[in-house]
Amino acid sequence: MTTAGQPEPIARNRRKHLGARLSTFGHAATLEFLFLLALAAAMAGVAGTLAELLTDVRFDIMGRAYLLQWTLGVFTALSLAILLEGTLFPWSGRRSLRATLRRVRQWGSVFVSHLGLLPSRRQSRKILAIGAVAATVAFVVACMISLVPGIEQIDHDQDARYVAVANAPGLAGALYFAIAAPPPEEAMYRGLLLLIAAAATWWCRTPAARRLIIGVALVLTSAHFGYIHLEWSQSNAIMAATSGLAYGAAALWSRSLWAAVLAHALYNFAVGAVTI
């Protein structure tokens, strides 16, 4: 018996190899997603709490519950990761807690590497430079978009974000915008949907296919980032989409999520300083 002109044992081995690759890919993708949720939760809790403490700005729907809510989210995500490793995917055949924790730690180090969360000193300098350039480009483009006639602009009197920081002292409102939103948003958009997608291109066999996937991921994440800002105004959505391209390019170029976070924070501060 043959399959596609090849002996059955060879065809069976190839199917088995493909199944193993798919299983490994699914396993890695699931754990990366769980670790990403934990990271986004931690970033949201710490950044939101820090922004409120430093600026005395309060949002009624979140307020002081940040830390408790997101600490619970981190605990839940890590618990799911441990459960997944120890019960659903006992690849090594060992179900001891020590072996499970070791596997989770190994996957965690891979996750940190994919997002560039622990950069070297040299890479840190690169992150600072690229983040500053990306923020500048995003801000200049946003200013140009605001001058285009016929595009609905942001109504600051109706925008809950601006209303919340309207009475903040000095540049505290701009500082709040710079601290609170960028870390969790970048973790989800440039983290889960871009850098991890780029890391997953190991599946591809050709550089052209990798570049295509990464390019599509960059465009789609930026478009969706703009879409979620559409509720405030058309100009806000377009600015978010174009700035998302800059943040994504910074993350890919530096191979670190921190470049996108820095670019987003600098951009938000500049916009807040000009408009509040």
Q: Sign (positive/negative) of CA torsion 142, 143, 144, 150?
A: positive
| Domain span at 237 | 2-275
Of 17, 244, 34, the closest CA to residue 142 belongs to 244
Give the span between the Cα atoms of 20 and 31, in whole angstroms. Answer: 17
Give the span between the Cα atoms of 131 and 258, in whole angstroms. Answer: 8
Token pair for residue 159?
């925008």
Structure confidence at residue 125 (pLDDT): 96
| Whether 139 contacts 270, CB under 8 Å | yes
Where the chain has pLDDT below 50, the residues are 1-4, 10-12, 15, 18, 22, 61-64
Structure confidence at residue 162 (pLDDT): 80
Structure confidence at residue 231 (pLDDT): 85
Q: Which residues pair with 7 in a beta bridge?
A: 2
Structure confidence at residue 2 (pLDDT): 46
Structure confidence at residue 191 (pLDDT): 87
pTM for this predicted structure: 0.83
Structure confidence at residue 46 (pLDDT): 83
Count the domains in the chain.
Answer: 1
Convert the pLDDT of each residue in 161-186 to its tens digit.
787 787 777 789 899 999 988 998 99
